[in-house]
Amino acid sequence: MNESSIPHMQGPICPLPIKSYEQIVMGHGAGGKMTQDLIRQYFVPNFSNPFLLEGNDFSFVQTHQSGRIVVSTDAHIVSPLFFPGGDIGRLAVSGTVNDLAMSGGIPLGLTASFILEEGFSISTLEKIIVSMAATAQEAGVPIVAGDTKVVEKGKADGIFISTSGVAWVPDHLHIGGAFAQPGDTVLISGTLGDHGIAVLSARGELGLETEIKSDVAPLNHLVQSIVQYTRNVHVLRDPTRGGLATTLNEIAVQSQVGIILNESSIPVDPVVGSTCEMLGFDPLYVANEGKMIVFVPANEANGVLDVMRSQKFGENAAIIGRVESTPTGKVLLKTIIGGTRLLDVMSGEMLPRIC
């Protein structure tokens, strides 16, 4: 399974001329000359970095002699491939960068494996690769290894991308879903539901056009600004599939605490809000791809809020709730009209193929 892995390209020294194609054919996944051509022509020039160019099936990442190593992975199957504010390439890089960053650590490198459908347009593939490379550059995280496979026409949907990565976490940080404590304040980095509504809109399933753009973005710099301001961060998590409500339920269960949200404080773009209302969606259950939840002790909350608001992807950050010891494993919403309701985990299908 190694021959088409990206590190295997010998770009500068391969003696054979590259043959170009307009569409993916089965031979592009066979691990021979055609696979090498595809990789040398599109992946190498875009993803180029010293780690990638070593030419093995494994790739080194930057080494640290203290701290801990974390890993993460995600498959990306979003449909359509391009949507307002992003595409599957930006999503694939941001998704894994963000999962890694939620450890408080610094992502060291990503890997990417591609499943391509026979007949897929190579110019579309190139656009996606360029977007991945730009997002990786924006995040400052190199794509160090990869793999390419091809399946027959009709056996996939154009392109699927699985990314994984590794990050370094310094010894002094202890951040995770199990570390929420009664007395913590809950912050969100910006408006909710933008990604899900942007993808639905691009799919033409809304029956209307919206100007909503996906928020898809790498959040590792925002995370670093927070953990450099204070080591006293308990939980970081990005509310993706299932939205804020599902993610907070997971944290409430992991930490065995109750989470109380103030509906009036939760930022929602007015267009997203009205679109959701029209369609019967709740923005608290709609996916985000460039937002993060932060749990810190109450005395750190205002300082962290200021730090977040000073950052590109945290401008609309807000304090949205607090942690209490009960009801254990539950999330409650104090509604705008003064009531309290239970926010449950999303059940079943809401928005398929959103990421």
CA distance 70 to 50: 22
Contacts of 108 (CB under 8 A, 6+ apart): 61, 62, 141, 165, 166, 167, 168
Cα torsion 77, 79, 81, 87: sign: negative
The footprint of a copy of itself on this chain (CB under 8 A) covers a number of residues equal to 107
CB of 338 to a copy of itself, least distance (A): 28
Kindly write down the DSSP assignment for every residue of 159-194, as one continuous string: EEEEEEEEEEE-TT----TT---TTEEEEESS-SSH
* Shortest spacing between CB 320 and a copy of itself, in angstroms: 19
**31 interacts with a copy of itself by CB under 8 A:** yes
Interface with a copy of itself (CB under 8 A), residue from 21, 33, 121, 298? 33
Q: Which of residues 103-122 bind a copy of itself (CB under 8 A)?
A: 103, 105, 108-109, 111-115
Closest CB to a copy of itself among residues 117, 305: 117
Q: Which of 295, 289, 292 is nearest to 190 (CA)?
A: 292
Instruction: By CB under 8 A, tell whether 25 contacts a copy of itself.
Output: yes
Task: Verify binding: residue 86, a copy of itself, rule CB under 8 A.
Answer: no
Residue with Cβ nearer a copy of itself (192 or 305): 192
Q: Does 61 bind a copy of itself (CB under 8 A)?
A: yes
For the bound state, the minimum distance from the C-beta of residue 339 to a copy of itself, rounded and expressed in Å, comes to 23
Tokens for 40, please give them.
Answer: 């040398």
Choose which of 126, 138, 250, 324 interacts with a copy of itself (CB under 8 A). Answer: 250
Tokens of 297: 């002790």
Among the listed residues 24, 93, 141, 167, the single contact to a copy of itself using CB under 8 A: 167
Question: Under rule CB under 8 A, which residues in 291-350 are in contact with a copy of itself?
Answer: 329, 345-350
Is the CB of 12 or the CB of 207 nearer to a copy of itself? Answer: 12
Per CB under 8 A, the segment of 38-46, 71-79, 274-282, 313-321 that binds a copy of itself is: 71-79
Specify whether the CB–CB gap between 72 and 41 falls below 8 A.
no
Spatial separation of the C-alpha atoms in residues 71 and 82, rounded to whole Å: 27
Residue 225: count of CB within 10 angstroms of its CB:
17
* Least distance to a copy of itself, CB of residue 270, Å: 26
The rounded distance, in Å, linking the Cα atoms of 108 and 175 is: 18
Q: How far is the CB of 109 from a copy of itself (least distance, A)?
A: 6
Given the complex with a copy of itself, which of 312 and 353 has the nearer CB atom?
353
At closest approach, how far in Å is the CB of 259 from a copy of itself?
15
Short-list 116, 76, 115, CA closest to 99: 76
